[in-house]
Structure formats: structure tokens, C-alpha cells
Chains A and B, each alone.
Chain A
């Protein structure tokens, strides 16, 4: 009996170790293969790849700056819109709404995260972009047109629409993480504040203050998601590699240049340039996500201690 047990244990455990090792293998291979395939352009362009402003695949000129710019600006724009809304939703769900309301509302916010990127893109092209062109953009131009961000040709397809779509997509993600964090803040903190005569909002401020680093983590997690979003933004940002202060103008992101051009990249050098861009995106999202995880995990630990 004991004998079959130990043999069975060994076999079982080996199988499990192999499945776990496959995850390790995938990640290691992924990094290795991308670096390997990006080597031709890394070698011949070096750092100028990252700061070059010209992108002419036909002439083998590869400067990724417009794409890096587009990725960062669209993601930051998304955060500016999504963070206040997400915080509001999370506070509403955890601190203010009675459970009977919070449960279904929370579920519906979660459903926003279940909608595929390509569906956001479809909606973005045919509903959001015309809305931005005919109403929101007109409004911004009229009242804030003195700012360089809201000048220029208004087509509805461009950085602004891209940022809004990204904001809608990361809102449920930031909300979910902030919700989890607020829920681990001990109830005694709230009771203590309320007992001292604090209003609901003053109590919430204390709770938010104690969860601050975790909330920062949630925001950075949202940033990581926005940086890597592909389909929706490819469909609404206009895919034009330019650096312009105007949010009305079309732009391009790293993820969308990959989506739009990778299948056509037959020449080896072009392919290498695109893969190097993918590598940049990979490394950036890796660092951003790891940092966010660290912040979120720290809050959980402190609250439990």
C-alpha cells in the first residue's frame, strides 16, 4: 500500500511539475525569441531606434518615437478620464451603496471588462467617433480651443477618441482592484472615525488615505492594460505616425502598428523592427505590472498584519 502511494505520489507530482514548468518555459522562450528576432535592428540602429522620428519601412528607416509617444499619450489620457470615475465607482460600491444595490451594480461594471476589445473598437468607430466629431470635439474646440490640445481638424478619428475608448476599457479593471483593496481595510477604522463624529465622506477619506499605495497600484495596473490594448485603439486612433499636440489629430500606438502591419512585413529587416517594437512594449508592460503588483500586495499584507 505504502509503496504504491509513494510511486503514485512521484508520478503525480512529476506531471504537475511539468505543467508548471511549461509556464516558465513559455516566458523564457518568449523573451529569448523576441530578443533574437529583434537583434538585426537592435544592432544596426541601437538607441536611435527609440528616439528616431521617421518611420519609412520602404527605405528601411525605423524611428519608433511617434509610436512610443502615441502609446504613452493615449494611455495617460485614458488614466486622466478613468481614474476619477473608477475611484468613484469603487467608493460607491464599498463605502456607500447598500449591498442590495452594490451587488448588481458591481456585476454590471464587471461585465464592461468582459466586452472584447474588437467590440469596443466597432462601437468606437460607428458611435463614439461620430459623437466626438459632432458634439464633444465641437464643445472642446469652442470653450477650450485656446489650448493647443483642442485645435486642428476634427474628424472624430484620433487621439481623443482613442483615449476615451481606452478609458472605458480600463475603468472596470481599476475599479475591481480598488474595490478589493477597500474591502481589506478593517471595518474598525470606519467605525472609529464615525464614532468620533466624522461624516461618511470624512470617513471615506481616511479609508482612502490608508489604502493609498494600493490605489496607486491599481492605477498603474490600469496603465499597464492601456499601454498594451490593441484592437479597439487600432480601430479609432487613425494609425498615422505623427507627433502632434492636438488630441484631434490621428496618432499611432506600438500595439496598433503591430496589429496593422505585422502580417504584411515580409522583408526581414522590417519584421525585426516590428518585433523590437513588440519587445519594447513587452518590457514596459512587464515593469509597469510588476511594480503595480508590488504596491497592491503590500497593502494586503499591511492590513492583515
Chain B
């Protein structure tokens, strides 16, 4: 009897012990997040001022800032969106509405594969495809690389969101005599629009943090540049250069630039969270 009781007790202790261990794992992950964010905030806030936000990089000791890098990041992200969003959304609609054939299955598989391709490989691809023929790095190449990263992500989230639209809505519209394209365009897409928008926003957050595909496609620039045929600075590449530079001043600027970047990315993520929670 006592033997049974002690076994029972042991099982209970083991059970609560494992619960504690898993809770510690979760606590550890949250701690890492908070530690990283607070380092960024504390070290970054000190170097942020208006001058820093509008200046271009200068020789060490003369200040300098990330104005041109912000403009470059915005321009390349914009180009990526202009190319990537229509293609990604179009492909996603195709996969959801007509994608049950061999072609659709192949594209879906390739989109998943492309999501898993390391982003540095996308950089190499654009380098050989665009930079080598053009003879120089450019904002165009950088934007294209970002677009390629964006397309499969947008396509797959769009597909998932459109699949959530109930078939009864399609059937009702078709029964009223609407042609297939009108059903998709006027009924299904608006119904899925919040989901598609949030998917697109997450894709934008993702590409605005990308560095590897820009390193040798957009390269970098010390000046304000508004033309896509020239090398272009970006926040992320600037962070990399500042962080790996030898001087303490540069490191400070790396933290400050990171604070700007991470604020943007977190804001998008939290906004998306807010938008999707209202729906479900």
C-alpha cells in the first residue's frame, strides 16, 4: 500500500517538475527577447537625434548619420512591393482558386522551396542576373532581390487567407449569374483583404530586416541617392558596416540605427497581431 502511494507521489512530483521545466524554457525565451530589446533601446537611444536621422555617413569623428540609408531602404522596399505584391497576390489567388492541378502543385512546392532558400543565395542569383550584365551594383538589383524574397511569402499567405473564405459565398455569387472572375475579384478578394494585407505587412517587415541579399546587389553608398541605377545604401547594410567597424563611435551608430529598424519591425508585427485578433 505504502509502495503504491510512494509511486503515486513520485509520478506527481515528476509531472509537476516537468511542468516547471517547460515553464522555465518559455521564460528563457522571453528573457532573451527582453534582454535583446532593452540592449537595443538603452544603447540606441543615446545616439539618436535629428542630425543622426538626416546626415550621411562621415569620416570617424565628424558625426554622421543614416539619412541616406533610410531613404535607400525605403526606395528598395518600395520597389520590392511594386514588383512583389502583385505577383505574390496573383500567384496566391491562382493557387487557392485554380491550383489543384499539376502546375498548381508544382508552383506551390516551388514557392515553399523558395521560402526556404537562404537569402544570401537570392543575392548571388541577382548578382549574376542583374549586377554582372549592368556592370555595377544598384538599387534596382537590391529591390529585385527583396522582391524575390517577398513573392513566395505573399503568395502562400494570400493562398491561405483566400482558402478561409467560405465556398457558400462563391456559390451565392455564381448562382446570381456573376462570371468566375467577378466572383474572385469582387467577392472573394474583398472578403480576404484583411488577411492578405496583414500577410503583405509581415512580408514587408521581413524584407526590411534583410541584409544578406543587399550586400553585393545594392552594395552601399555614402550619399543620398534617389536613382535605382546607382548603388544604394540601406539601414541593414549600414548597421552591418558600423557594427563590424573598428571604432566605438561606429558601434554607437549601429545601435542607434538598429533601434530605428527594430521599432519599425515590432510596430508592424504588433499592428498585425491587433488586426488579426479583431477578426478571430
| B124 and A258 form a contact (CB under 8 A) | yes
Q: How far is the CB of B200 from chain A (nearest CB, A)?
A: 15
Q: How far is the CB of A131 from chain B (nearest CB, A)?
A: 10
| B211 and A231 form a contact (CB under 8 A) | yes
SS class of chain B's interface: helix, strand, loop or mixed?
helix
Q: Which residue of B lies closest to A293 (CB)?
A: B112
Partner of A230, one of B22, B93, B119, B266: B119
| A105 and B26 form a contact (CB under 8 A) | yes
Of the listed stretches A17-25, A42-50, A241-249, name the one at the interface; the rest are far from the partner chain: A17-25
Residue-by-residue, is B5-44 near A (CB-CB < 8 Å gives 1, otherwise 0)? 0000001101100110111111011101101100110010
The complex places the Cα of A96 from the Cα of B177 at a distance, in Å, of 51
| A122 and B255 form a contact (CB under 8 A) | yes
Interface contacts (Cβ under 8 Å), in number, total 264
| B184 and A12 form a contact (CB under 8 A) | yes
| B29 and A109 form a contact (CB under 8 A) | yes
- A195 on the interface (CB 8 Å rule)? no
Query: Which residues of the partner chain B approach A8 to less than 8 Å between Cβ atoms?
Result: 179, 181-182
Residue-by-residue, is B217-243 near A (CB-CB < 8 Å gives 1, otherwise 0)? 001000000000000000010011001
- B94 on the interface (CB 8 Å rule)? yes
| A285 and B151 form a contact (CB under 8 A) | no
Of the listed stretches B63-71, B100-108, B164-172, name the one at the interface; the rest are far from the partner chain: B100-108
28 contacts between A and B (CB under 8 A): A11-B181, A12-B181, A12-B184, A19-B87, A24-B107, A30-B121, A30-B122, A33-B125, A33-B129, A34-B125, A93-B26, A97-B23, A105-B26, A111-B33, A116-B209, A118-B243, A122-B243, A123-B40, A175-B29, A201-B14, A201-B18, A201-B19, A228-B116, A230-B211, A258-B120, A259-B215, A282-B117, A290-B113
Binding site for A on B (CB under 8 A): 11-12, 14-15, 18-19, 21-26, 28-30, 32-33, 35-36, 39-40, 43, 86-91, 93-95, 97-99, 103-104, 106-107, 110-114, 116-125, 127-129, 148, 151-152, 155, 177-182, 184-185, 205-206, 208-212, 215-216, 219, 236, 239-240, 243-244, 251, 254-255, 258, 261-262, 265-266, 269, 273
Shortest beta-carbon contacts, A-B, top 10: A228-B118, A116-B209, A88-B25, A19-B90, A5-B179, A12-B181, A92-B22, A199-B15, A289-B116, A16-B94
